[in-house]
Chains A and B, each alone.
Chain A
């Protein structure tokens, strides 16, 4: 089973600043990686799939990059509504698929 590790666990950022979140897979997942945002009391929301394709309605300040085992989610200029927990999810090959343990983006 592929293990997905996210870093850091918590990221403190000021509004308007850039946030960079990392996700590492224990073996290559090609570009088969998605990112989700979750706010308290809400289900996750799809942000990115295919490592870099924004889902419908996702603002351009969210961008994804990487392939193989190293991936990055960048939020170019943090807005107040972006403070949340972010999960990466690998879906390479036959399931089971796996999630990372999450990165919490908090207000600095």
Chain B
């Protein structure tokens, strides 16, 4: 059974750095095709794709947030960590991690067959306030 669980502080102050950990089981991020994505959702608003890391340690970031995000993995611990620097009130949201699977059919052009994000964690709510 595949499970993911997000953990981190519920409250951070403006300008602080947020560190979130996604701890997963039931799959290995060293297995070909596996990836973990972070997504967030401000209260009452839409989902926002943040960052993704795959089995080859390729890392991808949201265009608007890439200067503030860092994603990394610890395969031995089955964890993926996301850091967000310079937090502000607009970063108040529930943060989710999700497992995805896929394969490159034309790596040069980014051709990637993706089976979708099929298992999600329950999310962790983060509030930014002084």
A and B are partners in one complex rather than unrelated chains: yes
- The interface on chain A, measured as residues whose beta carbon lies within 8 A of the other chain's beta carbons, has a size of 27
* Closest partner residue, chain B, to A99 (CB atom): B47
User: In the complex, what residues of B have CB within 8 A of residue A91's CB?
Assistant: 112, 114
Spot the interface stretch: B9-17, B25-33, B120-128. B120-128
Determine if A94 and B60 form an interchain contact, defined as CB atoms under 8 angstroms apart.
yes
Determine if A46 and B47 form an interchain contact, defined as CB atoms under 8 angstroms apart.
no
CB distance from B123 to the nearest CB of A (A): 6
User: In the complex, what residues of B have CB within 8 A of residue A45's CB?
Assistant: 120
**A45 vs B113: C-alpha distance when bound (angstroms):** 19
Determine if B49 and A98 form an interchain contact, defined as CB atoms under 8 angstroms apart.
yes
User: In the complex, what residues of A have CB within 8 A of residue B112's CB?
Assistant: 32, 91, 93
Determine if A96 and B110 form an interchain contact, defined as CB atoms under 8 angstroms apart.
no
Which residue among A55, A95, A100 has the maximum number of chain B CB atoms within 10 Å of its CB?
A: A95
CB distance from B2 to the nearest CB of A (A): 11
**A91 vs B113: C-alpha distance when bound (angstroms):** 9
User: In the complex, what residues of A have CB within 8 A of residue B62's CB?
Assistant: 96
**A101 vs B41: C-alpha distance when bound (angstroms):** 11
Determine if A96 and B63 form an interchain contact, defined as CB atoms under 8 angstroms apart.
yes
**A94 vs B62: C-alpha distance when bound (angstroms):** 11
User: In the complex, what residues of A have CB within 8 A of residue B110's CB?
Assistant: 93-94
CB distance from B95 to the nearest CB of A (A): 11
CB distance from A73 to the nearest CB of B (A): 13
* Closest partner residue, chain B, to A34 (CB atom): B116
Q: Does B46 contact A (CB under 8 A)?
A: yes
**A50 vs B117: C-alpha distance when bound (angstroms):** 12
Q: Which of B39, B96, B113, B118 contacts A46 (CB 8 A)?
A: B118
**A64 vs B111: C-alpha distance when bound (angstroms):** 21
**A90 vs B109: C-alpha distance when bound (angstroms):** 16
* Closest partner residue, chain A, to B123 (CB atom): A43
Determine if B115 and A43 form an interchain contact, defined as CB atoms under 8 angstroms apart.
no
Determine if B46 and A55 form an interchain contact, defined as CB atoms under 8 angstroms apart.
no
